[in-house]
Chain A
Amino acid sequence: MILKIENLSKNFGKLKAVNQINLQIEQGSVFGLLGPNGSGKTTTLGMLLGVTNPSSGSFSWFGQGDSPKVRKNIGAILEQPVFYPYMTGAQNLDIVCKIKEVPKSRVEQVLEQVNLLDRKDDLFSAYSLGMKQRLAIASALLCDPKVLVLDEPTNGLDPQGIAEIRQIITDIADSGKSIILASHLLDEVQKVCSHFCVLQKGNLIYQGKVEDDFSTSTSIEVASDNNQQLMSVLKSMPHVKEVIENEKTLLVKGDSSLNSLQVNKHLTAQGIVVSHLTTISKSLEERFLEILAESK
């Protein structure tokens, strides 16, 4: 386990920005922290990273509690990339090396990794937003961290920049590192995360695996000229959990091994000709809205 959070809370005056959060994050997972603007994502990460003092509760990294020494093994960016603007990219990373007590030789390696080596001697203030984000990720990678904490790393980037950063994140995840990713972009979490939780107004309202919510269940929409007959045939089909009748179509819910080809074959064998057949891939967005609606 890389992180265990117990009853963590933060109040700003009357406002409960983070309210009694409990969470455990396993080694090797890519954990998405989802929530609308102002739901407490940055505040939570700020507490985990030692800059915001918790009002109550506790947390522990790698089972070793919370200390600056532990933080030297974490690579993290909070909100926007933060560097000294009057220094070059390489000089900035040197400072981080000194703070984290890692050898200077890492600088070139991580710059290579984020594809910034040829601009290392330019001033940070002269970098584009995308380059700043990449430098921030390079900086987070300096200590060869066991876990990477990223707070909206694609914020403000253009589609190409977003794709680049996501590729870097996916590569890092594939290399076996754990990642904690805060975002309000749902497809981002869906694309890169294995687990996620949802925060709303400081409360943790949902937590689960991304695949539980998507790949383990399949929804297929079917229609024919006789929906009553269709219904009874589908209900007896293997792997089908539930059939829901809509106005003109039937929604078939089954486990992950169910697919539209099977359904089509089965129905043809029963002598039923379908007029409509589509796989509905439920997006995290729907699930997210569902979760938010349920919590009200």
Chain B
Amino acid sequence: MIRLLKIELAKLWPANYFRILLMLWLVAFITIPFASNSFLEWMASNKMMSQNPMFNPSQWPIFDFADLWQNLAYIYKMISIFMSFIIIISVTNEFDYKTVRQNVIDGFSKKEFWLSKISLIVCFSLLSAVLLFILGLIIGYSMFPIFKIELLFTNIEFVFAYFFQVFYLLMFAFVLSILIKRAGIVIAIMVFWIYIIEPMLSGIIASSLVDWPLVADSLPMEAGWNLIHLPFKKYIMMKTQDFISLQDVVTAGVWFVFFFLSSYLLLTKRDL
């Protein structure tokens, strides 16, 4: 697995798109929490808004421990799409250049080729989760420099949920890439699916099948997205799911297994 990952990284490193996307992602990852903090302070200092004493965002404990893990994970899951672009381009390039074929001729089994991409996906997911953890500690400590271990690790399960969420999204991108083989089309379909098709479908399902909210939550992207629920509503006194529910994990898990198996079968059973 490590050997395969090394080969993948050797393939990626000289590629410009990889370095650019990785930089964009890193910059976004590091700046977004600070930027959103300043944004909240700006909202608070805005006279019109601060007239309402109920609404004072600068007082929200967004980056304080315990709340911080879910909040950060939620913010970060919006930028994992950058990572999925790297996977999409890396996989579709192999078909475009026919290098997947040459890799097999040179001595990979089709399964090893699949595993090498999986190792890359795991590597990116781990990187995301580890970075979330490190930045969480730094930000949390700088906002709230009291160090109580049990407080620090309260809600830490959101780091694992974030790992799963990135892994899930990248696997979805992987399956689409193997199926469609053209980077532009895959990216277009993915964006279209996430922002138009699924919201519409879930809207239709929600309105016509009121008794079945489960169906809307079980669409493939929705299922991955729901692992980490929107936390901020609780600051304006609305009901929020501030834990990871078993039902969400199982729904996403079923899709995940499907992505895993279908990517394997698509790659190994077809002619290259």
Q: Is the CB of A68 within 8 A of B112?
A: yes
Q: Is the CB of B108 within 8 A of A85?
A: no
CB distance from A83 to the nearest CB of B (A): 7
Contacts of B15 in A (CB 8 A): 84, 86
Of A67, A82, A101, A139, the contact of B98 (CB 8 Å cutoff): A82
CB distance from B177 to the nearest CB of A (A): 17
Contacts of B11 in A (CB 8 A): 84, 95
Q: Which residue on A lies nearest to B106, using beta carbons?
A: A99
Q: A69-B107, A98-B10 are in contact. Are A82 and B99 (CB under 8 A)?
A: yes
Of B14, B110, B271, the contact of A46 (CB 8 Å cutoff): B271
Contacts of A53 in B (CB 8 A): 269, 271
| Secondary structure call for the B interface | helix
Interface size class of chain B, counting residues whose CB lies under 8 Å from the partner chain: 20 to 34
Q: Is the CB of B271 within 8 A of A96?
A: no
Residue B26 lies at the interface, judged by CB distance under 8 Å to chain A: no
Q: How many residues of A contact B (CB 8 A)?
A: 30
Q: Is the CB of B101 within 8 A of A82?
A: yes
Query: How many angstroms between the C-alpha atoms of A91 and B272 in the bound complex?
Result: 24
Q: A68-B109, A71-B105 are in contact. Are A83 and B272 (CB under 8 A)?
A: no
Residue A261 lies at the interface, judged by CB distance under 8 Å to chain B: no
Q: Is the CB of A51 within 8 A of B97?
A: no
Query: How many angstroms between the C-alpha atoms of A96 and B104 in the bound complex?
Result: 11
Query: How many angstroms between the C-alpha atoms of A94 and B107 in the bound complex?
Result: 14
Q: A53-B271, A86-B15 are in contact. Are A99 and B107 (CB under 8 A)?
A: yes
Residue A76 lies at the interface, judged by CB distance under 8 Å to chain B: yes
Residue B51 lies at the interface, judged by CB distance under 8 Å to chain A: no
Query: How many angstroms between the C-alpha atoms of A88 and B13 in the bound complex?
Result: 12
80-106 of chain B: CB within 8 A of chain A: 93, 97-99, 101-106
Q: Is the CB of A91 within 8 A of B107?
A: no
Residue A106 lies at the interface, judged by CB distance under 8 Å to chain B: no
Residue B7 lies at the interface, judged by CB distance under 8 Å to chain A: yes
CB distance from B199 to the nearest CB of A (A): 36
Contacts of A72 in B (CB 8 A): 106-107
Q: A51-B272, A53-B269 are in contact. Are A100 and B105 (CB under 8 A)?
A: no
Among B6, B102, B103, B104, which residue has the most Cβ atoms of chain A within 10 A? B102
30-62 of chain A: CB within 8 A of chain B: 46, 49-53
CB distance from B210 to the nearest CB of A (A): 47
Query: How many angstroms between the C-alpha atoms of A98 and B103 in the bound complex?
Result: 10
Of A76, A78, A99, the contact of B7 (CB 8 Å cutoff): A99
Residue A87 lies at the interface, judged by CB distance under 8 Å to chain B: yes
CB distance from A140 to the nearest CB of B (A): 9
CB distance from A229 to the nearest CB of B (A): 63
Of B7, B93, B99, B101, the contact of A98 (CB 8 Å cutoff): B7
Of A51, A84, A91, A100, the contact of B271 (CB 8 Å cutoff): A51
Q: Which residue on A lies nearest to B111, using beta carbons?
A: A68
Q: Is the CB of A82 within 8 A of B102?
A: yes
CB distance from B265 to the nearest CB of A (A): 13
The 7 closest A-B pairs by CB, nearest first: A72-B107, A82-B102, A68-B109, A51-B272, A99-B106, A49-B105, A71-B107
Identify the B interface with A (CB < 8 A).
Answer: 3, 6-7, 10-11, 14-16, 93, 97-99, 101-110, 112, 269, 271-272
Listed A/B pairs (26) with beta-carbon separation below 8 Å: A46-B271, A49-B105, A50-B104, A50-B110, A51-B101, A51-B104, A51-B105, A51-B272, A52-B271, A67-B109, A68-B109, A71-B107, A78-B105, A82-B99, A82-B101, A83-B97, A83-B99, A84-B14, A84-B97, A95-B7, A98-B6, A99-B103, A99-B106, A100-B106, A100-B107, A139-B106
Identify the A interface with B (CB < 8 A).
Answer: 46, 49-53, 67-69, 71-72, 76-78, 82-88, 91, 94-96, 98-101, 139
